Amino acid sequence: MEIDSNSKSMSVIAVCLLFILTSIPSQVGAQQPSEDQNFQSAHTGVDFPVAWDDTSISSEISVRMVYPAMSSGESKEMAGNGPFPWIVLFGDIDEEISDYMLLSESLVKRGNIVVVTNGIEQSDSTNVQSHLDLLEEITLFMQENNNSNNNTQGSFGQIDLNHWGVGGHGTGAAAAYSVYPFWQHSSLSSSTQPPRALFGLGTDFSGWDSGDNWDTLPPSNWTVQPAWPASALFITGTIDEIATRGDNLPFVNGTQYLGWQWMHVLGANHYQFQDET
């Protein structure tokens, strides 16, 4: 694939991510609840307008929710064609929630909601408990949105709470990878579905020590149980030395619990997953 613009690059990446979000199951995660089979039909019409809301969901956590809307812009009414599946996107180190609109828009136009977090510090990318706490807060936020119009006009009943995934860019991708198989240890696990999609864009494991993996990172009494389909997509560029395959493969290859695919985007670099480049 030759990438000649950010817009084209984001479209290619969005297609790849939509593939992994709807991929055929390949492996069962033990003791996870059965997947809800009430799937929404794929959106085949014209692109949805894209809107967003910036929200502080706690004193320490701010997110941007990017969603299909009736018209484009900030705080517009959510489209009534849902419920829409949703994705949590962990940002890269020092990045802002506004830095991922091109990527988010590509996914939202085709009927997905993207919740973007602030950047994850390199030293925090292995903090599984912290990432799980963040996912719990975001899940409660999405439940509130689905049960009312208090935060976003028209959101009532338009969020598919049972179908969601996690991913990220750079250190945020490493954070998403670290927390993915541990939803069963969430306080919400008995009443919610686990994330069933995982992707990483330019995944940056530089904050990890050699040998770090799902067996070593969490508390000693935690079990590794990625939910069906237990598969992931990793995308990286080819023209810089950030998040190279050689740096990343030992960590991704260090688990027997996950099926994965690795894609190199010819001509792309680590920073092209952000808006400003």
In whole angstroms, give the CA distance from residue 193 to residue 211: 30
Residue 1's pLDDT is what? 36
Residue 35's pLDDT is what? 86
101-108 and 6-21 are packed helices; what angle lies between their axes, rounded to 10 degrees?
50
SS3 231: strand
Residue 212's pLDDT is what? 93
Structure tokens at 104: 């988010």
Residue 30's pLDDT is what? 42
Q: Which residue type is seen at 170?
A: G
H-only helix segments in the chain: 6-21, 101-108, 128-147, 171-179, 245-252
Sign of CA dihedral 201, 233, 19, 267: positive
Residue 272's pLDDT is what? 58
Q: Which residues pair with 53 in a beta bridge?
A: 65
In whole angstroms, give the CA distance from residue 264 to residue 262: 7
Which CATH code fits 6-25+47-273? 3.40.50.1820
Structure tokens at 72: 């484009």
Residue 275's pLDDT is what? 57
Neighbours of 221 (CB within 10 A): 6
In whole angstroms, give the CA distance from residue 208 to residue 224: 18
CB 182 within 8 A of CB 132: yes
In the chain, where the domains are located: 6-25+47-273
Residue 28's pLDDT is what? 39
DSSP of 49-91:
PEEEEEEESSSS-EEEEEEEBSSSEETPPBPSS-PEEEEEEEE
Q: Which residues pair with 64 in a beta bridge?
A: 54, 116
pLDDT along the chain (277 residues), means of 10: 46 52 43 81 90 93 97 97 97 91 94 97 95 98 97 97 96 97 96 95 91 93 93 77 70 86 71 57
In whole angstroms, give the CA distance from residue 55 to residue 151: 8
